[in-house]
Amino acid sequence: MSTQPLMGGAQRRIAIPVRVEPKVFFANERTFLSWLNFSILLGGLAVGLMNFGDKVGRISGGIFTFVALSAMMYALITFHWRARKIRNREAGPYDDRFGPTVLCMFMLAAVVVNFYHTPFKTEFAVSMSCDSCVQDVSKVLQGLPEVQRFDIDLDQQRVVVEGTAPPSRLSRLLKDTGRTVIVRGQGVVNGTHAGAAVCIFDMYSHPAGTPKPKREPKGLARLVQIDNQTCLIDITVEGLSPGKHGIAIHECGDISNGCESTGGHYNPTEVDHGDMEKGHVGDLGNVEVDKDGWGDLVLESNRIKVWDIIGRSMVVAAGAEDGGKSSAPESKINGNSGPGILAGIVARRLVLLKTQKPSVLARAKPCGRKLELLEAVVNCNIVPVHCILHD
């Protein structure tokens, strides 16, 4: 039988169907779902930023929303484009999950930067007497790129600073101008935070063999968890002997027997005593007291979480702690700082109404004894700390 009639005079080519493997279709679907998941994740983050973030967070949320919608449109268009190429039996990279993976990494980096650099708002009481003092303070703050804005009130002797500059650094720089500086309050620019606590040092244990102080030592510590990474802490003490005194968070909130019943340093990581970065989580360093018995300490910690230390205690030691660097037997335990002399319980701050004074409720952490419930109401209004201590 001749094949000539089948081929025809024009020698036409007959297209024979080619079987497309299922994995090609699956590859295209995987790519589409990868982009879709990325869009949903980014959209959820955008909603969170716009609902709970500050001005910068809302701007970031708007940008993330635009990127999420763009990624979704890109996913839909490329899915249909690749599907058409598959139907036409054209070669192409149908499994392209590298793009959304890289974008997810960039998104994660953006989230970390956005939340890690949460702007602080710190209010200082600064001794100023003239316009020259105002200019000196302004010059210091203007030289810091991390300071977004500041306000100086000469009549009230008040300086309010907003930005990402750590309050401890601001306090040191303002003190370097030769003026008295006191932290009046600190928090987040938009007023929201992850938690706040206060510790009133009202349990004094007089060390044996030392002269009795002229006035009863006392103090106050305030803690603000501005986000999941950073806790702002400012501590003020009065009536202690001049010099450095070690201060730490202790594991128990039992002060029924003074500082002796507070247990050891708060140490969930079970390491030796050291600095704030590598030692006990509760290690806070030293507070330096001047000749008048006044001392303050301002610091930030990325290891302390307010919700983990509620009901525990803070203790000021008789001497300076050495950061665990000396050869003394107690150096790896408490920095060879000696016995505790001033203690208080860390309590949770609850602001009920703007016109009401914050109340403080603390549940003591047990140390081999029955759990005790302690309640106290204190004046935690943002006023100069020395006024609180003298009232």
Question: What are the respective helix, strand and coil percentages of the chain, to the nearest 5?
Answer: 30, 25, 40
The pLDDT score that the predictor gives to residue 208 is: 73
The pLDDT score that the predictor gives to residue 317 is: 94
Please, what are the domains in the chain? 22-117 (no CATH), 119-191 (3.30.70.100), 193-389 (2.60.40.200)
Per the DSSP assignment, residues forming a β-bridge with 196 are 224
Q: What is the DSSP letter of 251?
A: S
The pLDDT score that the predictor gives to residue 143 is: 84
The pLDDT score that the predictor gives to residue 76 is: 76
**Residue 388, phi then psi, degrees to nearest 5:** -60, -40
Within 13 A of 52's CA, how many CA atoms are on the CB side?
13
The pLDDT score that the predictor gives to residue 382 is: 32
Q: What's the CA gap between 324 and 278, in Å, rounded?
A: 10
pLDDT block averages, 10 residues each, the chain of length 391? 48 50 66 73 69 60 76 76 69 55 60 59 88 92 86 91 84 88 75 80 81 83 84 90 94 91 92 89 93 90 91 94 90 92 86 38 43 33 33 32
Give the DSSP per-residue string, 124-182: EEE---SHHHHHHHHHHHHT-TTEEEEEEETTTTEEEEEESS-HHHHHHHHHTTT--EE
The pLDDT score that the predictor gives to residue 48 is: 65
